[in-house]
Amino acid sequence: MFNNLSDKLDKALHVLKGHGSITEVNVAETLKEVRRALLDADVNFKTAKEFTVRVKEKALGQDVLTTLQPGQLMVKLVKDELTELMGGDAEGINLSGNPSVILMSGLQGSGKTTFSGKLANYLKNKKTKKPLLVACDVYRPAAIDQLHVVGEQIGVEVFSDRGNNDPVAISQAGIAHAKANGYNVVIIDTAGRLAVDEAMMTEISNIHKAIQPQETLFVVDSMTGQDAVNTAKAFNDILNFDGVILTKLDGDTRGGAAISIKSVVNKPIKFIGTGEKMEAIDVFYPSRMADRILG
């Protein structure tokens, strides 16, 4: 994960490690390399620029020029700033409703159905939660089948209505089914298109308005870099979602989406997907991710 970025940042900061004392020019050169590494990792231009400006201010404010180990201090400052950029403290999901309704949004192929299953499994293992999955993709019968397969795999019931082509009605019926049968979490998997289009946005917005979920999650493939950030913006404008799920972090991801998304849409990344299996789900901890990036 993020190997390229880690190597480049390490190289950029390593230059300072050998120095007992450094100059403002050394700091500026190092931060230029840091910025280049972030841009190469597909971090949004504005985010990368602001990042280095903030680190520079802190470095000069904290007397990095006279400290005994300037290299170490710079690594710490960069790590702290990365943590802040990715969201500061980890944020959980709101499960206060009875049932708590969680709406999944995102493009087709982003990993919504897989993540719906992972989240249901994760919550089911918490013992106090009894989740129900609801299949609301009325365009692709295969998507409904896929959710049933996932449900069977993890032992969670899937509510679907194949004859119905109204996703709002299906989601409402799913919630009613949950209430009648003692489910305390409802996870609604919706249809996604290959690109943001008006019809999809209207549909998800209608579902959102009708069911008023406790939690709306936006699922995005981290491998898509800046496209992930742009798609997040488009969905956030319509849904004002509560959190982001970054999938496929096990792939050859450059890191741009993970690093930029919070600062662009101002919503936390809540979970990450790290594989195709149902167990490949992790709570997103910005500080742990920053540790991983900086080694």
Which residue of 70, 192, 225, 243 would you call a contact of ligand GDP, by CB under 6 A?
A: 192
Alpha carbon dihedral 20, 21, 26, 30, in 10-degree steps, equals 50
Confirm or reject binding of residue 275 to ligand GDP (CB under 6 A).
yes
Q: Pick the piece of the chain touching ligand GDP (CB under 6 A) from 3-11, 160-168, 237-245, 246-254.
A: 246-254
Of all residues in the shown chain, the one whose CB is closest to ligand GDP is 273
Contacts (Cβ under 8 Å, ≥6 apart) of 135: 143, 144, 147, 148, 158, 159, 160, 170, 189
Q: Is residue 256 within 8 Å of 86, Cβ to Cβ?
A: no
Which residue of 87, 106, 256, 286 would you call a contact of ligand GDP, by CB under 6 A?
A: 106
Rounded least distance, CB 107 to ligand GDP, Å: 7
87 marked ligand binding residue: no
250 marked ligand binding residue: yes
State the Cα–Cα distance between residues 35 and 37, nearest whole angstrom.
Answer: 5
Which residue of 26, 110, 214, 231 would you call a contact of ligand GDP, by CB under 6 A?
A: 110
Rounded least distance, CB 140 to ligand GDP, Å: 9
Contacts (Cβ under 8 Å, ≥6 apart) of 226: 42, 44, 256, 257, 260
Confirm or reject binding of residue 83 to ligand GDP (CB under 6 A).
no
State the Cα–Cα distance between residues 262 and 267, nearest whole angstrom.
Answer: 5
Beta strands 269-273 and 158-159: pairing type?
unpaired
Q: Pick the piece of the chain touching ligand GDP (CB under 6 A) from 57-65, 85-93, 108-116, 259-267.
A: 108-116
State the Cα–Cα distance between residues 281 and 93, nearest whole angstrom.
Answer: 14
Phi, psi of 218 (to 5 degrees): -110, 120
Q: How far is CA 156 from CA 27, 129, 185, in A?
A: 54, 11, 11
Q: Which is nearer to ligand GDP, 116 or 214 (CB)?
A: 116
Confirm or reject binding of residue 15 to ligand GDP (CB under 6 A).
no
Q: Which is nearer to ligand GDP, 146 or 214 (CB)?
A: 146
Rounded least distance, CB 104 to ligand GDP, Å: 8
Rounded least distance, CB 274 to ligand GDP, Å: 6
State the Cα–Cα distance between residues 35 and 48, nearest whole angstrom.
Answer: 6
Number of helices (H), then strands (E), belonging to the chain: the values are: 11, 8
Confirm or reject binding of residue 167 to ligand GDP (CB under 6 A).
no
Q: Which is nearer to ligand GDP, 117 or 268 (CB)?
A: 117
Confirm or reject binding of residue 141 to ligand GDP (CB under 6 A).
no
State the Cα–Cα distance between residues 186 and 220, nearest whole angstrom.
Answer: 20
190 marked ligand binding residue: yes
Confirm or reject binding of residue 248 to ligand GDP (CB under 6 A).
yes
Confirm or reject binding of residue 112 to ligand GDP (CB under 6 A).
yes
Give the pair of three-digit tokens for residue 200.
């999809």
Indicate the annotated binding residues.
106-113, 189-193, 247-250
**Residues marked as binding for GTP?**
106-113, 189-193, 247-250
Footprint of ligand GDP on this chain (CB under 6 A)? 106, 108-114, 192, 247-248, 250-251, 273-276, 280
